[in-house]
Structure 1
Amino acid sequence: MAAVMQRILKDSFSRFRPSSVNYRTYTRLAEVGRLESPKEGKYETGQLFLHKIFGYRGVTLFPWTARVYDRDLSTSDSSEETESNPSNAFVHPRVVNGQSQTFYQVLIDSRDCAHVRTQTEAVTFLGNQEDSRSLYALPGLDYVSHDDILPYTATKEQVINHELFDKFLQPDPNKDPPFRARETLRLWQDKNHPWLEMNQVHRETTEDVRVTVIPFYMGCRSNHNLSIYWWRYCIRIENMGEKAVQLRERHWRIFSQSGNLETINGRGVVGQEPVLSKSLPAFQYSSHVSLQASSGHMWGTFRMEREGGYMFDCKIPPFSLESKAEV
């Protein structure tokens, strides 16, 4: 956030443009928009924004309403009960708060994709063939909470650079924001609703490191007369403290309603061991899990190393894996 705010002068912000000439690197500062005051109500389709944490430019497509279960506000600790009985890993909302919050499906500006600490090909879906286990990614799509949006108005004709921008949105100078949804966006939303839909968010903080998990049901596919259920989960790890920490290991427990309990251990996440510092406090990634049962749940820890070599386990909040009827 600090790196982003350094670019904001008065009510306008700019982006650095690196280029290579004669083996030397130069930068050019160009104004791309003027910041607006954040809104309390929902942002409309076509709202340009700057991501508060990751700093990329984007545009809102449509909102989702999700229940946020924040274990920092829980009234009891279920960790011992979870270990003794894995079927109790998902604590019901009576133990944690379940406030409704607005999130947005957004497009990420392709010019910023290489410079942000989040996967820009993280929204995936299953193939259409019933016997297929192939996963396909839609580049430059993300989910953003209302609190992470810094709205702005573009200067001149600067808009979001994304191959789907003109297919989903069209200019409308009589609107604010001056874009409206095309029919293709409405049809796309309805058609792909099952694997896009988000309805629950889970958060927990350990020693100033907050982990947020958003699970998505992707669908069921058949494989040699077995039904395989697939989920995608998006994880954001954020350092809320002053001292830098580095993610070293991951430890997962996956419980299936069929009675199976699986343990997964490994170095880092998605091939990285990210450092979370004051200037770069967050890292976001997505992964997948499949079960031979229609439901289950997951929980675990990230092994973190703080400056000076101090190690601690950061809790990953338990979250449910729930399937839905497919149409």
Structure 2
Amino acid sequence: MARDDDDGRSGKGRLTTRRALMKAAGVSALAFGAGTAVGTAGATPASNGQTVDLGEEGLTDGGSIDPYLETHFDSDTVVHVPAGEYTYTGSGLGGSYSNAALLGSTEGVVLRGASDSDTPVGPTITATDGSVRLENLTIKGAHGQPNSRWRVGADAGARMELLNVNMPDGAVDGANATGIYTGTEHAGTLWVSHCHFSNFGDTALDVSDPYKGSNGTVVVEDCDFVNTGTAAISVGGDDSVVRGCYFEATAPVSTGAGGQARRAIVVDGPGTNVEIDDCDVDWTGVASAPIEFTLPSTGGDGTISDLRVTDPGSGLLSAAWDVDRTWTGENINVTEV
């Protein structure tokens, strides 16, 4: 492992507007999911299919979006959601789709879950062909059940995209609820970009299980994880990428399964060619390792590069890199406080 002796700030000029604003304001990006326009990569799914505007179909601010999704969200369809806040209780999104998109207005779209946190609201969404995208959506309401998580994935050759999808409320205290989960059946590509997660006692973005099955690709870019629990991200499959993300542990979180363990990234599978690159970690509020290799990661390999950590001296890694695994590191800057 290489460690530079500068002040740990090299390369920080590339911080995204979202992150810079969040830090300048001195708060987490609690409201940024609603009304933050971000760039997209690639063509809009279903560009040759039909387009539906839910506002034109009668959806109004404060109404329930479930029946509109049940009617209009389908394969070969782009569904536009007008700015506003809508109740969402779990119907209309779950299923398998090809070339579909649910695009929230850049002026802000909030989907608020059931007021009863014991009611599961998490859909299972699978891309079977082409690409399926969820964009510009903030999911409000603390998760209270394990199956409140949003489960996403893609079949071989397909692509699932989450762009500016945010879960700022996390889970209720004591709930072992995750934010987004990808299961063993994921065989295609999952792309998670410009998303925000906060206050989960359990793992906020759990995308490690594909290594146990179809071993699909997972790419997480330019996301913010503020005061999450067991792990902000859990990765483990071949060619997994965590790039340009911001991690913060400066305040207590809701308790859950290992909620006080507080890791930024857990490498939880033996994936090869895993990449952790250009990330910033503010770990000043806890005394746990920002990055941890668990026993299931034995045999994997990857690279950690351009990592900037502010840490109270708990240690950057929980295990030696070259014990039953082959990882390399370069340009890793640690500032102890």
> Normalised by the size of structure 1, how large is the TM-score?
0.25
Higher alpha-carbon Rg: 1
Which structure has more relative contact order (CA 8 Å, sep 6+)? It is 1
Please identify which structure carries the higher strand content.
Answer: 1
